[in-house]
Amino acid sequence: MIIDSHSHYFPLELIKQARKGNAYDGLTVNQDREREMVCHRQGARYELKRIFYDLGAKLARMDELEIDISVLSLAPTLFMYWTEKTEADDFCRRMNDNLAEFAAKSDGRIVGLASVPLQDPIGATRELRRAVIELGFRGAEIGTSMEGLPLDDARLADFFSEASDLDVPLMIHPYAVGKRERMEDFQLNNLIGNPMDTCISAARLILSGFLDRYPELKIILPHGGGYLPYQIGRLNHGYFARPGKNLCEHAPSEYLERFYFDTILFDPKVLNFLYDLVGAKRIVVGTDLPFDVADVAFKKNIVALNITEDEKEKIFFQNAQRLFNIELSYKKI
């Protein structure tokens, strides 16, 4: 059994609008030779692969990779935090309805994560509750910040209290539809900028005392946690070298057990380091499909770990099953 905790969806309703040039926020889908490309007015551009929106193609790709269940979230470029809040409320509601319909046709193989309008904390709280209670979603995907507003900001407190009360996990995913300074070349916006954003966000959640305020909240850090696991020693050193500068109750390394980390690291040596640091019980499979930086060698990298078969089972599916409260009703044929 394999559960992929990190893969993405692009609603067909939005694609049809984008092809006509009348989609939300000026989003377009254009033909580039034999490929369709999603184009954001801020500059982001990526291939619109069929498995973003075609259920048959999605399930076929899952079968190729021996994935039994995929936890699906909206492409993070569609967070739309920069848009007007009333329109964003409606957009998130429609996208969640689309994903719920997509999942309902999958015979239990697709599990949904909600998208919420964080620029409207009241609306985000309301939509999270609706998505979980009415649509059966198992959590939500949010950005590493809300257009620069850190997640530990008090204005977002009610949303996080609701997630904690509902006992559903949050995937904190980096996003960028425009450029980052000094990262315009060599794909650095994605390759360096995204894991950097994850590290900054997670470090703030630790050092601000956020995790102390929400002791039951479950958080997933994609892409192996960004740079956080590999710089935790530096955070610890700063904590002790400059007492009084941070608001957390314990040394930063003690909070690693509050996070789940996916396997999107592309290198078994690095995955082994993450395992040595946090243990098998905090790691879940991730692919980032269908983006071109997806990690489809996850199975080989997990098998290569010098750990017990029981620990591998935790990583392959047991941790995700418990985290997302998934009933394993799907059976391979």
Active site (catalytic) residues: 288
Straight-line distance from the first to the last Cα atom of the chain, in angstroms, rounded to the nearest whole number:
12
- Measured between alpha carbons, how far is 66 from 76 in angstroms, rounded to an integer? 25
Q: Cis peptide before 117, with omega less than 30 degrees from 0?
A: no
- Measured between alpha carbons, how far is 276 from 273 in angstroms, rounded to an integer? 5
Residues in contact with 219: Cβ distance below 8 Å, sequence separation at least 6, in sequence order: 169, 170, 171, 172, 202, 205, 258, 259, 260
Residues in contact with 250: Cβ distance below 8 Å, sequence separation at least 6, in sequence order: none
Q: Which two tokens stand for residue 241?
A: 């070298």
Question: Which residue has 């996208």 as its token pair?
Answer: 95
Per DSSP, the three-state class of 81 is coil
- Measured between alpha carbons, how far is 284 from 196 in angstroms, rounded to an integer? 20
